[in-house]
Amino acid sequence: MAARMSYSSPLSYSVRLMAVTNGNFSNETQKEASQHGILLMDRRELMAKIRTSALTMGRIYNRETDRCNSFEDGIKSARRWFDPTIA
């Protein structure tokens, strides 16, 4: 909610929030995420998903520079995933 109030972009595509890290989440983070229904994926789970998908580490490294610079930038990118006609 705070993000929605801070940025003018609506979060209409979010079904359930998820946080992903290539490290580990602290116990405090895990507890808070659990209280708010946020899914967490740590490095172990992330690597397991990558191994069982068609993704290769090369493809991942190629996308490394395609990162969002802000929350608003992330919302715009997510909208393009759902509607490719959005520029």
Please provide the DSSP assignment of the chain as one string. Answer: -HHHHHSSS--TT-SS-EEE-SS---HHHHHHHHHTT-EEE-HHHHHHHHHTSS--HHHHHHTTT---SSHHHHHHHHHHHH-TT--
> Token pair 């209409």 is at which residue?
12
Using a cut of 0.75, tell me whether the model's pTM lies above it. Answer: no
Mean pLDDT of 63-71: 74
Tallying the residues shown for the chain, one arrives at 87
6-36 pLDDT, tens per residue? Answer: 555 555 555 678 888 889 999 999 999 898 8
The whole-number average pLDDT for the span 54-80 is 77
